[in-house]
């Protein structure tokens, strides 16, 4: 187990700067997930940490040691790739032992390690099979077993579940989480799946275009995203973004929402921060999650932040426990999460309640959050 510190790392391939000053700190035993769209530099960052690529500038430290110039095999890191990279001609036992043999580990110790790892990952029955005789999930376990057998200070995982079907992905996700709880090793795990990120991580780093846009706990990212990108990336179905104007009505500040029939509804916003006042009479983007627009809330009675809006139902998507109702507000398509028995048919008018206490405001020009209702968010660009 070790801590990992990445400071202001830059990486260019030819003229293309892929990482533009990335900093991260991973505590000893922490599960860090790096998430972001395809091509944002996740694998590149992992390869730099492993030493498979060289950095242009910046510093990588494992515990107190700077490892910039240390060879990959001396970094005490094990990496599990998306493709598993198992040796096809070797059976599972040999795949697990090979790395240890080349490092001169005594035979008896190798035997004991394989027995232990195979037991943890439930692959004891598969030790004599070749990779071609295994299912995707079993291959994935063997790849993890090979990393575990090395007993490294840090594990790096690069999208280890992306080759599996949806059901197996969810099963293996739970297994990886259980494994981490048991062995408590430092893990950096790359995925572009935000649900995987939310469920696995102690902390998540959200990357885009070679920058880390926010680095925080899953709940903080969900509740207090630093900008439109993070807000839209984390959460499924995605947060609604509604262009609107910030106005004063009576002694309250709020946004005006208009339904398809042209009827306006005033929605007050929380005013913890003076920043909101600076935006009076200007265009802003209201961010509100689908579950905050519903047919009603338990805590609704007398709550000054819950307001009614009437909309025409456009489309329904039943998910089982909830039905997603799509309506038009301020000419934007808005997703609402409604209890199935409260749903109206498409074309009918429906009363919806909006919980503005969780609503966020964004600058339409920069995409940054306008107000910061809760301290402690560590948004950074
Ligand atoms: N060896 C390389 N030579 C040149 N360009 C590269 C190299 N490796 C990566 N790149 C480029 O760097 C950018 C980041 O690639 P990277 O593989 O890190 O993305 P990623 O976030 O892992 O994406 P994905 O989710 O698709 O795996 C891409 O534009 C890619 O084409
Ligand atoms: Mg990648």
How far does the centroid of ligand 1 lie from the alpha carbon of residue 155, in Å? 20
* 242-284 pLDDT per residue, tens: 999 999 998 888 999 999 999 999 999 986 655 677 888 999 9
- Closest-lying ligand 1 atom to the alpha carbon of residue 40: 21
d(CA 237, CA 235): 6
Domain with CATH 2.40.50.140 in the chain: 240-362
Q: Which two tokens stand for residue 196?
A: 């995987």
Domain with CATH 3.40.50.300 in the chain: 4-233
- Closest-lying ligand 1 atom to the alpha carbon of residue 82: 27
pLDDT averaged over every residue in the chain: 90
* 51-92 pLDDT per residue, tens: 999 999 999 999 999 999 999 888 999 888 877 788 889 999
Which one is predicted more confidently, 307 or 169? Answer: 307
3-state helix, strand, coil in the chain (%, to 5): 30, 35, 40
d(CA 252, CA 237): 30
Nearest CA to ligand 1 atom 26: 38
Label residue 233 by pLDDT band (50, 70, 90): very high
Q: Is 44 in the pocket of ligand 1 (CB under 6 A)?
A: yes
Q: Is 13 in the pocket of ligand 1 (CB under 6 A)?
A: yes
Ligand nearest to the CA of 208: 1
Report which secondary-structure segment, H or E, holds 131.
none
For residue 222, what pLDDT is reported? 97
Unique residue bearing structure tokens 């910061």: 372
| DSSP letter, residue 343 | P
Helix (H, G, I), strand (E, B) or coil at 241: strand
Q: What is the DSSP string of 15-72?
A: TEEEEEEEEEEE-TT-EEEEE-STTSSHHHHHHHHHTSS--SEEEEEETTEE-TTS-G
CB atoms within 10 A of CB 79: 24
CB atoms within 10 A of CB 45: 30
Share of the chain above pLDDT 90, in %: 69
Which one is predicted more confidently, 219 or 120? Answer: 219
Q: Is 39 in the pocket of ligand 1 (CB under 6 A)?
A: yes
Nearest CA to ligand 1 atom 24: 38
Report which secondary-structure segment, H or E, holds 104.
none
Q: Which two tokens stand for residue 138?
A: 């079993």
How far does the centroid of ligand 2 lie from the alpha carbon of residue 223, in Å? 27
Single pTM value for the model: 0.89
For residue 379, what pLDDT is reported? 40
Domain at 240-362, CATH homologous superfamily: Nucleic acid-binding proteins (2.40.50.140)
How far does the centroid of ligand 1 lie from the alpha carbon of residue 206, in Å? 16
Q: Is 240 in the pocket of ligand 1 (CB under 6 A)?
A: no
For residue 138, what pLDDT is reported? 86
- Using alpha carbons, list the distances in angstroms from residue 177 to 98, 180, 195, 243: 26, 5, 13, 39
Helix axes 136-149, 92-102, angle to 10 degrees: 20
167-173 contact pairs (CB < 8 A, 24+): 168/136, 168/137, 169/196, 171/137, 172/137, 172/140, 172/141, 173/199, 173/200
CATH number of 4-233: 3.40.50.300
């Amino acid at each position: 187990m070790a801590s990992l510190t990445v400071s202001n790392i830059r990486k260019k391939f030819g003229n293309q700067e892929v990482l533009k000053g990335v900093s991260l700190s991973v505590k000893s035993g922490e599960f860090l997930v790096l998430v972001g769209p395809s091509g944002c530099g996740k694998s590149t960052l992992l390869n730099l940490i492993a030493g498979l690529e060289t950095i242009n500038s910046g510093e990588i430290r494992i515990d107190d040691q700077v490892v910039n110039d240390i060879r990959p095999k001396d970094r005490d890191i094990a990496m599990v790739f998306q493709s598993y990279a198992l040796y096809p001609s070797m059976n599972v036992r040999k795949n697990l032992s090979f790395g240890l043999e080349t490092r001169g580990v005594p035979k008896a110790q190798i035997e004991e390690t394989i027995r232990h790892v195979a037991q943890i990952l439930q692959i004891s029955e598969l030790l004599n099979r070749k990779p071609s005789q295994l299912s995707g999930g079993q291959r994935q376990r063997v790849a993890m077993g090979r990393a575990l057998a090395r007993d490294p200070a840090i594990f790096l995982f690069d999208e280890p579940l992306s080759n599996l079907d949806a059901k197996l992905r969810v099963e293996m996700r739970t297994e990886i989480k259980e494994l981490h709880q048991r062995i408590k090793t430092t893990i950096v795990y790359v995925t572009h799946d935000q649900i995987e990120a939310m469920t696995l991580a102690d902390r998540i780093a959200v990357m885009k275009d070679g920058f880390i846009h926010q680095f925080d706990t899953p709940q903080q990212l969900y509740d207090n995203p630093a900008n439109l990108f993070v807000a839209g990336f984390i959460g499924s179905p995605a947060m609604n973004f509604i262009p609107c104007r910030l106005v004063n009505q009576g002694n309250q500040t709020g946004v005006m929402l208009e339904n398809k029939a042209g009827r306006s509804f005033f929605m007050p916003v929380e005013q913890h921060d003076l920043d909101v006042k600076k935006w009076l009479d200007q265009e802003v983007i209201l961010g509100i999650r689908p579950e905050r627009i519903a047919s009603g809330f338990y805590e609704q009675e007398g709550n000054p932040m819950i307001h009614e809006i009437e909309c025409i139902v456009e489309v329904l998507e039943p998910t089982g426990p909830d039905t997603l109702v799509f309506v038009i507000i301020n000419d934007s398509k808005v997703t609402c999460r409604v209890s199935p028995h409260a749903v109206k048919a498409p074309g009918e008018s429906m009363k919806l309640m909006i919980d503005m206490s969780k609503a966020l405001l964004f600058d339409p020009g920069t995409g940054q959050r306008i107000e910061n209702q809760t301290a402690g968010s560590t948004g950074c660009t």
